Chains A and B, each alone.
Chain A
């Protein structure tokens, strides 16, 4: 049997708006598939130099994002696991985590069309789409 896309997807969230719109877009699908999701936030590391913002600061931000996610997932009745990831390349870090967890798909919502790229850094979206060894689902975000 083919594995359902939304059985255990990995869902990256970048910021508060992204967390809200991604939850709105993804949760109904995951609930429908009776799946569970792993929501991740990537703390971008400079790789041997001071980062652009304190790691503790971005971990705090991740906690806030995860609170939003957990609350919405609870309302939708979806089991959710959250994890902070660290990496110098946001796209690669997401792909590695998806492989490690054997995610059924990588699910995200593009926000504001083309501007999406700079939320995750320059080529995270391209990396996800081009290099993924598993399905990548781009869901339409909330209309702005």
Chain B
């Protein structure tokens, strides 16, 4: 008997109406992700990757279907419940980092801990550990503008891990980075899965990232087309 998956997605539908046109972003998507796995979500632009991540994280609600994260039905939560979910269980890493420019790297990392009302001493300790983890202990007092793009994304990852989430959703985290920097960020994510036991669901176009993933889920016009981990992958042409 297998353990309860951390993430369970069942028959999720999501469509958007643009004037008279209805775009079906997700058409009955179903899959499970076990705790501590790193899953790559790949597909063309507009295939539904980001929509799927948003539905899982409670940033968007499905038209039909259910999403359970750590046993919690995300669609059934109200705004406060969703806030609590995002504060305690799910966190995000975005392509554009999303750091607060006037705060230092350490203060940015501490932001979720402040929201969780973590005591200052514990907050400082945790921030120190996380910056150490992402290799930025020497840059704790620097502001985002003083950091390179790769360093900013590392800070964003540290911030996402600050509240010890069970699930980390990363939406094309290497999209604004050069290949070398992107590789180091991906390696970092892989390492975090190993060391922190966090479950990571990352949308990407990057073949290297797919190679690092335990499992690759391909999404095409709202349908899933799952690949095995480590299987050679033909990059999807991107219109961007």
Bind each other: no
Q: Interface of B with A (CB < 8 Å)? A: none
